[in-house]
Structure 1
Amino acid sequence: MKYIAMIPARYAATRFPAKLMQDLCGKPVIVRTYEAVVRTGLFSEVYVVTDDDRIEKVIQEAGGKVIRSLKEHHSGSDRLAEAAKDLVADVIVNVQGDEPFTAKENLEELIRIFEEDKEEKVDVASLMEIITDTEVIANPNNVKVVVNKNNEALYFSRSVIPFERAAVEAPYYKHIGIYAYRKRALEEFTLLPASVLEETEKLEQLRYLENGLKIRLSVTNISTIGIDTPEDLKEARKRQALEVF
């Protein structure tokens, strides 16, 4: 199968404007992310999907490929689907532009899900990690997921799920927002109206579930590191400095 990585890269950001263009030890954050994905050697092609001239310029200067997108989309899946419509690919892997330290092992795990899905029943692959800290579990900024015995998503929520009515020690999983999609699933997604649960929770993956599409997850113990605040950037610079030198 042909796997393509796409890195959505919007210039605007509510909490940290222009974060993708911030300097990370000599290169913009988005360039570091792009180069890290290329270095994995997992993908036939890697594209940065952006609506901004500045991001396009730095990626092209780094020798990268850019696909321009419309400025407004209802969801990240809609943005990727628009960008991928003319590409030949079986699976599109979505890597966040503000995560320059995305682990190769996590990306390999997404690919493994599709490689083992011989009957092509899986539409979307994603990751989750076990969480035990009660504050992390209760935090609505951390999306939780419950799965069936095949690790297929039953529901995603910002609320605490499952609710502990009885002390049976059910696991709690935090959803890690790295996705891989069959291209046909992305195309189908864009034809579906935004769903009630999606709008209620502000979680686009619920549109897939409400329409019967399968999301299979795998457990990872390698957390992603996103740059959402200036403080995150300071920590990223410390880590990048260690990798550079």
Structure 2
Amino acid sequence: MKEAEDPTAEVVIRTEDVTFAVDGRELVSGISFSLRAGEVVALVGPNGAGKSTMLSLLAGDVAPTQGRVEISGIDVRSWKPGPLARKRSVMLQHNSSNFSFSVREAVHMGRLPWGVDPVRDEELVAEAIEDSDLAGFETRDITTLSGGEAARVSYARTRVQTTPVIFLDEPTAALDLKHQETLLRSVRNLRDEGAAIIVVLHDLNLALRYADRVLVFGNGELVADGVPEEALSEELVEEVYGQRVRRLKAEGIDTPILVPV
């Protein structure tokens, strides 16, 4: 299956036969793929398919039971925390906080891996707040935010870290329609600036619209890897999700839409 990648772009992530097991049960098994700079790759699949586990392995939060994960040609386990935080940023799936920081303070924490540069830091924080539609929220206590507002703060903090590799775990799950579109347009803009981005998505139509490439997981295995319109066929979706779908073309929309049958 054809992959949507520029063969001349730098390979920033490489996995080789990665397996991760807990109590003898393999959560992901034999996964191999690469990610290049300037590419948005969506990890999709049903609940429990291994998407979030794969993201944790890529980020270096857990070590594979077998195989190897590399960031810029170096085993992710060999990176020291400081340099790793300047190489890759991670937006987690859960965004709750028990500490009463303001929105501006929480976003500013994304600058901690870097040396202090007050002028640049303020510019980047202000840009991330604007880009995440948080203008007017700067002084709000983050413990008072809704789930969607907290997710936008988490994305802004991840964005302001200005890393060349970005991992996003279900960033749109708590967002309304407008903010899903806002966030994923921002992701595409970061890609256009050269970032390599892996995003876990449940909404296959968002993957069709915004990803350059999708990795489809099923039962801990990588069952498809390719451009969205090829990888997300009706047959494959039914096989992996156990749900029949129809692919439709709507007037004024370039990508197909998947509709449950």
- Is TM > 0.5 for Structure 1 vs Structure 2? no
TM-score, normalising length: structure 1: 0.29
TM-score, normalising length: structure 2: 0.28
